[in-house]
Amino acid sequence: MTVTPSPEAFRAARAEGNELLRSSGALFESFFSLDGAAYAPGALPASVKELLGLVISVMKDCEECVYYHLERCDEERVAREQVLEALQVALVGGGSVAIPLLRRAVSYMEDLPTLARQHPWTERRG
Amino acid sequence: MTVTPSPEAFRAARAEGNELLRSSGALFESFFSLDGAAYAPGALPASVKELLGLVISVMKDCEECVYYHLERCDEERVAREQVLEALQVALVGGGSVAIPLLRRAVSYMEDLPTLARQHPWTERRG
Amino acid sequence: MTVTPSPEAFRAARAEGNELLRSSGALFESFFSLDGAAYAPGALPASVKELLGLVISVMKDCEECVYYHLERCDEERVAREQVLEALQVALVGGGSVAIPLLRRAVSYMEDLPTLARQHPWTERRG
Amino acid sequence: MTVTPSPEAFRAARAEGNELLRSSGALFESFFSLDGAAYAPGALPASVKELLGLVISVMKDCEECVYYHLERCDEERVAREQVLEALQVALVGGGSVAIPLLRRAVSYMEDLPTLARQHPWTERRG
Amino acid sequence: MTVTPSPEAFRAARAEGNELLRSSGALFESFFSLDGAAYAPGALPASVKELLGLVISVMKDCEECVYYHLERCDEERVAREQVLEALQVALVGGGSVAIPLLRRAVSYMEDLPTLARQHPWTERRG
Amino acid sequence: MTVTPSPEAFRAARAEGNELLRSSGALFESFFSLDGAAYAPGALPASVKELLGLVISVMKDCEECVYYHLERCDEERVAREQVLEALQVALVGGGSVAIPLLRRAVSYMEDLPTLARQHPWTERRG
C-alpha cells in the first residue's frame, strides 16, 4: 500500500521511465506512436478518448495509467462531474475490487486544477 | 470458437437469461438497477457512457457485453466511425489478445442499422 | 455465444479433455493432484471450498470451471440459496462484466438435482 | 514494491479514502450499500462470505481488498487454519502469480489478534 | 462450451475476421504491422517468440490466440515436448483456471502435423 | 506509485516472505516444488523458460514476479536484447496498460550484471 503521489512526482517518474523505455528499442517507440495516434482527436474528441482511457485503466487496475488519463482529462477541460460519472460506470462494470484504485483516483484529482473539488471556504492544498 | 450470433438470437438469449437471474434473488435485481443508474444520461450523455461500456467490455473480454453495448450505441445513434475509434483505443490499451473479440465486434456491427458499413452497390445482409 | 451445455455433455467433454491433458506430461498430473489436495476437506469443509472455487471461477470468467464447481456444490448438498448468495458476492466483487457467466450459472443449476428451483406445480426438465 | 502496512495505517488510509469516494457521488454510496448487503449474513454466515471475499481479492490481485477481508475474517473469528486453506485454494486456482500477494497476506495476518501464529516462546510483535 | 475447431475451420474464420477488421480503419492495420514486427526473428528466434505468444494467450484466456500460436509453433517446427513444457509453465503460472483452455490446446494439437502425438500403431485422424 | 527496488532489497523481502509462506502449510511448499519442476530445464532450456515466466508476469501485472524472472534471466545469461524483445512481445500482446510495469522492468535491469546497458564512458551504478 502506497501513498497517492503528487502530480509533480508522478510526472517526473513517468517521464524518466518512458525515456528509458523509448531508448530501449525501436518497437517501444513505435508502440508509443500508435498509442498517440489512437488518442488523437478524430470522429471522437480528445476529451471522450481520455475518458475511455480512464475507464480502461481502472478495469486493468493500472494505477499510473489512471493518473495519466486524469491529467489528460484535466488538460482537456473535462468537468469533474463527467470524470466521476465515468468512474461510476467503471465501478459498476468492474465491481468492488476497483474501489482501492478509485480511492486513489479521487484523491489524485484533488491536486489537478480543473478536476479538484471547489472549496470556497478554505485554501486548496497544493 | 463460436459463430457471432445474430442480434435477434443474442437479444432473445440475453433476455431469457436476465429474467432467470433477476428472479433468483433481490440482490441481482438491485445490481441491475444500479447498472441502469450508472448508464443513465447525466453530466455525460448516454452515447458517451455506452462507448465507455463498450471499451470496458473489450478489456474484460466479455463477448456478450460487447454485443449489448454495440446495440445500445446503435440505438443512441453513435456513428460507425466513433465506435471504431473507441475499439481502436481498446486495442492499443489491451493489446493483441483483444483482436478475436474485435473481429466479432465488427462482424456484429454489420447487422445493426446505424453501425453497419454502407454498401451502395450491394444488398445489405440481414 | 454458445448454448449452456447439459451436465451430461459437459461431464463427457471435460473427462475426455482431462484424460488427454493428464497423459500429456507428468507435470499436468502433478498439478491435478495438488488441486485435489487443496479442495480436500480440512479446517474448511468441502462445501465451503467448493463455494470458494465457484467464486474464483466467476472472477476469472472460466465458464467450464463454473459448471464443475456447481456440480461439486450439488454433490456436497450445498443449498441453492447458499450458491446464489455466493454468486451475489461474486457479482458485487467483479461487477457487471460477470453477468453473462452468471446467466449461464443459474441456467446450468436448473439441471442439477439439489440446486434446481423447486417447481411443485410442474415437471422439472431433465 | 512496498512494505506491508500495519493494520492501523491501512484502516486509517482506507477510511479516509472511502469517505472521499462516498462524498463524490450518490452512486458510489449506493454501491457501498449493495456491497454491504451482499456480505450480510443470510443463507451463508458472514464468516464464509468473508472467505469468499478474500479469495476474490487474491484472484483480482487487489492488495487492499485482501487486507480488508483478512480484518473481517479476524473479526468473525475465522480460524487461522481456515484462512490459510482458503489462500491455498486461491493459489492453486490463480497460480504462482498470486504468490507476492499471498506473501503480504500471511505477513499482514501476523498483526491480527485471531489470525496471527501463536508464539508461546516469544513476544508477539505489534 | 464449444467444440474445439478444426485447423481449417479456425483459419478460415480468422482470415475472414481479420480482413474485416483491417478494412475498418488504418489504425487496425498499423497494429497488425506492429504485431508482425514484434514476432519477427531477431535476437530471439521465431520459435521462441511463438512460445512467448502461446503462454501470453493462455494467461489472457484467449482461445483463438492459442490456436494461432499453436499453428505458428507447428510451422516453426517447435517440438511437441517443447510446446507441452511451455503449457506447463503457463499452468503453474496461471493456475487451475487455465485448465479448460489447456484441454483445448492439447486437443487442437492433435490435428497439427508436427505437434500431434505419434500413433505408430494406428491411423492419425485428420 | 513506488520506487523500483534495488535487487538486494527485493531479494531480501522476497526471501523473508517466501519463508513465512512455506512455513504456513504443506500445500504452499508443494506448490513451490511444482513451480520449480515447471522451470527446470527439459525439452526447453532454462533460459527460454525464464523468458516465458517473464512475459507471464507482465501479462498478469505481477511486479515482483517480473523482478524475479529478470534476475533468473540474468543468471541464465540471457542477453539484454533477448529480454527486450520478449518485453516487446508482451507489450504488443498486452497493450499500453503494461507500460508502467515495463518502465520498472527496464529500470530494474540497470542493476543486474548481464542485463544492464553498457556505459563505456561512465561508471555503472550499483
Indicate the pTM of the whole model.
0.95
Separation CA E61–CA E94 (nearest Å): 10
Name the minimum distance, in Å, from the CA of C59 to any CA of chain D: 7
Q: Across A45-49, D116-120, F114-118, which has the greatest mean pLDDT?
A: A45-49
Could D103 and F14 be called an inter-chain contact, meaning their C-beta atoms sit closer than 8 Å? Answer: yes
Is the pLDDT score of B75 beyond 60? yes
pLDDT attached to residue E119: 57
Mean pLDDT for all residues in chain E:
94
* pLDDT interval class at A126 (50, 70, 90): very low
B118 or B108: which leads in pLDDT: B108
* pLDDT interval class at A118 (50, 70, 90): confident
pLDDT in tens, E28-69: 999 999 999 999 999 999 999 999 999 999 999 999 999 999
Cell reading at D20: 472521499
Mean pLDDT for all residues in chain A:
94
C46 touching B (Cβ < 8 Å): no
Residue E95, phi then psi, degrees to nearest 5: 85, -175
Is the pLDDT score of C73 beyond 90? yes
pLDDT in tens, F109-126: 999 999 999 755 544 444
pLDDT attached to residue A116: 97
- CB of A114 within 8 A of CB of A74? yes
E37 touching A (Cβ < 8 Å): yes
pLDDT attached to residue D125: 46
Q: What percent of chain C has pLDDT over 70?
A: 93
Contacts of A8-15 with CB under 8 Å at 24 or more apart are: A9/F1, A10/A64, A10/A67, A10/A68, A10/A71, A10/A108, A10/F1, A11/A71, A13/F1, A14/A64, A14/A68, A14/F103
- Enumerate neighbours of A (3 or more CB pairs within 8 A): B, C, D, E, F
Could A21 and F103 be called an inter-chain contact, meaning their C-beta atoms sit closer than 8 Å? Answer: yes
Tally C-beta pairs within 8 A across A and B: 84
A41 touching B (Cβ < 8 Å): no
Mean pLDDT, rounded, for E5-28:
97
Residue of E23, B82, E38, D72 lying closest to F87 (CA atoms): E38
Is the pLDDT score of E20 beyond 70? yes
Separation CA C126–CA A96 (nearest Å): 37
Whole-number CA gyration radius for chain B? 15
Is the pLDDT score of C122 beyond 60? no
C39 touching D (Cβ < 8 Å): yes
C31 touching F (Cβ < 8 Å): yes
pLDDT attached to residue E2: 77
Mean pLDDT, rounded, for B106-114:
97
Is the pLDDT score of D126 beyond 50? no
What ipTM, to 2 d.p.? 0.93
F63 touching D (Cβ < 8 Å): yes
Hey, where are the domains in chain D?
Answer: 7-109
Interface probe with D: pick from E55, E96, E99, E101, most Cβ of D within 10 Å: E96
Cell reading at E42: 531477431
User: In chain F, which stretches have pLDDT less than 50?
Assistant: 122-126
Name the minimum distance, in Å, from the CA of E42 to any CA of chain C: 31
* pLDDT interval class at E118 (50, 70, 90): confident
Could A96 and D65 be called an inter-chain contact, meaning their C-beta atoms sit closer than 8 Å? Answer: yes
* pLDDT interval class at B118 (50, 70, 90): confident
Mean pLDDT, rounded, for D16-29:
97
pLDDT in tens, C6-59: 999 999 999 999 999 999 999 999 999 999 999 999 999 999 999 999 999 999
pLDDT attached to residue E124: 46
Q: Which residue of F has its CA nearest to B96?
A: F93
The topology (CATH level 3) of C7-109 is AhpD-like (1.20.1290)
- Nearest Cβ partner for D60 among C49, C59, C92: C59
Is the pLDDT score of D50 beyond 80? yes
Separation CA C32–CA C68 (nearest Å): 14
Interface of D with C in 66-125 (CB under 8 A): 79, 81-82, 84-86, 88-94
Cell reading at C50: 467448493
* pLDDT interval class at B64 (50, 70, 90): very high
Q: What percent of chain B has pLDDT over 90?
A: 90
B64 touching E (Cβ < 8 Å): no
Q: Beta-carbon neighbour count of residue E81 at 10 Å?
A: 14
pLDDT attached to residue A124: 46
The residue written with cell numbers 500471511 in the block is D106
Could B103 and E65 be called an inter-chain contact, meaning their C-beta atoms sit closer than 8 Å? Answer: no
